[in-house]
Amino acid sequence: MAAYFRLEVPRRSDRNGGNKAEVDRSALLLHGARLWCDEHPLEVGGDGYLIGHLFERGATSRVLDLCEAAAEKILASGGRSLATDYWGGYVAILARPDGHIAVFRDPSGLLPVYYREDDRCLIVSSDAAELGRRGGVDYPAMLRFLASAGAPSRETCLEDVRLLLPGEGLIVAGGSHQLESWWSPWDWTQVRHRSYAAAAKELRAVALDCIGSWTSCFDSILVGVSGGLDSSIVARAAAHRAVALHCLTMVEDDAIGDERRYASILTTALGIPLLEAHYNLSAVDIGRAVAPHHPWPHAPFYMQAIEAVHDGLCREQKIDAFFSGNGGDNIFCSIRSAAPFVDRFMAQGPRHGLFDTLRDLSDLTGASGTTILRHAWNRYRDAARPPSLHRDYSGLSAAAIAELEHSPPSHPWMQAPEGTLPGKAAHVRLLARAQRSIELYPRRTHPEHVPPLLSQPIVETCLSIPTWQWVAGGRDRSVARAAFRSVVPAELLRRTSKGGPGGFMHRIYQANAERAGDLLRNGLLARAGLLDLSILEAASRPTAQGFEKAQRVLELCAAESWARWWSDAARS
């Protein structure tokens, strides 16, 4: 429904043909390129378009109506002033004087941008499902995805479909294209020397402004709440400007999966009722792709139960946006390692405050000071080495694992520039991982999903805060807790853990164990040589390791169902 677009830039030899441009009068024309949008985009001085939501920076952000002066400034900078003077969830498509077309994805990444090139043209779209081909599953990419443990990548699991990263410009010229970085998280990792209280005050102001600005764009908002820190911040900040705000908590009837007590503390403070919905096993079909519009099979099966609830609420409440606290752990630097101690030592030397951080980490992790110092020394010694990325090889065949040895990281945020503090490198890698939680449902048929904590000004503010301040007082996400001390109920600010759908996922496996085995034994992934099917036997054991293997089996089933959807011409 919101911010869908498709851009076709023909090869130079095709630009004067004009046949398709003349026939399809629904397209907007831009220097030989054709653009389709579900909503009329903002025009940029006759030489470009902006699709999505754009806000002008200031003490109080405001929705931008592009005046002539603003358009001239954007065009004069080649579009780069968008990254410094504005923020939002948008893509900019600009025609340059040299005839090139520039496509810029905003630094928050809240509007996805995928592209594919063929002999006729380069196609750019917010919908990866438009660019994939039936039968076009990229199994080597699928293998790298399954082993990546959620690490991001430019590549997708659809042949020839690539992702434009947040803050990147795709410059298209004739039959070729190149990538330019217009914004990078590394530019914000030089920690600023300000007090803990000042950092909390700045974060509060920026977060309230960003969340409030997003709230002003919609009439009826549904927020998923658990009574955890991140979703509580989003709901509390949105409540000040929301026309209609609804809070939903999903319930699984076990001690971990029932968050109603904490969620109700939040909604009582907001003065609105709490909507409750139980996870329904009948809504889950492990043979059905969870999110076939995604270019990776990363959506878990419990999302089918959530989608069924969302669809019902959309009919009842006329919801036009889903808000969530997704990405909060990542951008609020929820790390439990010795990195903050190493960062403080490298930035400030052996001052008294260094031992405050040692105590904070001991309180946070439960580890002894000696243990933390040992890990800190190893981290300091290895600071200049490339990161050792976590891999998950469970359920993958020996031949497939051997292929992975030649697969380096393909995302520039996973490799820090020289001189970056180790904790800040970890913070940026957390941010990169958060990008996969942005898209929920197809934009042409569902309300859009907004995770406002990933807004560019919030990201930049958080990246500039030292990692040792994020663990101050022995609490994770400490600066965020301090920032919202008088806004979020105190009992929620004190929470250090929360539940999740793990119990429901276990129920899904127990109800589908036999079918899961059939799905994988007779499936496309096994035929492609990716799987070690002995994991099925390990998943049936009633142990903690067996439970872990069962969750992995469901991940493999989700990948199998996704691959079958893309390989079935009738369903695709």
pLDDT of residue 521: 96
Nearest to 107 by CA among 131, 127, 91: 91
**What's the rounded Cα separation, in Å, for the pair 404 and 149?**
13
Indicate the domain borders of the chain. 5-183, 187-331+431-493, 339-430, 502-567
φ/ψ of residue 58, rounded to 5 = 170, 180
Nearest to 115 by CA among 144, 156, 166: 156
pLDDT of residue 17: 44
Both tokens of 271, joined, read 């003065």
pLDDT of residue 24: 59
pLDDT of residue 206: 96
pLDDT of residue 73: 85
Residues in the chain where the model's pLDDT stays below 50? 1, 17-23, 570, 572
pLDDT of residue 66: 65
pLDDT of residue 167: 96
pLDDT of residue 20: 43
pLDDT of residue 25: 59
pLDDT of residue 286: 97
**What's the rounded Cα separation, in Å, for the pair 562 and 106?**
28
Could you give the count of Cα atoms lying within 13 Å of 38 in the half-sphere of its Cβ? 14
Amino acid at 144: R
pLDDT of residue 393: 93
What burial letters (b/e) apply to 517-536, b meaning 16+ CB within 10 Å? bebbeebbbbebebbbeebb
Confirm if 299 and 570 have CB atoms less than 8 A apart: no
pLDDT of residue 125: 95
**What's the rounded Cα separation, in Å, for the pair 207 and 233?**
9
pLDDT of residue 166: 96
In words, the CATH class of domain 187-331+431-493 is: alpha beta
For 58, 404, 453, the CA distances from 531, given in Å and listed in that order, are 52, 13, 37
In words, the CATH class of domain 5-183 is: alpha beta
Amino acid at 551: Q
Confirm if 106 and 87 have CB atoms less than 8 A apart: yes
Both tokens of 20, joined, read 């398709």
pLDDT of residue 71: 82
Structural Rg of the chain based on CA atoms: 24
pLDDT of residue 170: 96
Both tokens of 127, joined, read 């919908």
Angle between helices 422-434 and 456-463 (to 10 degrees): 160
Q: How far is CA 28 from the centre of its chain?
A: 30
pLDDT of residue 138: 95
Q: For 272-304, what is the HEC assignment? A: CCEEEEECCHHHCCCCCCCCCCCCCCCCCCHHH
pLDDT of residue 566: 94
Both tokens of 14, joined, read 């095709």
Confirm if 139 and 530 have CB atoms less than 8 A apart: yes
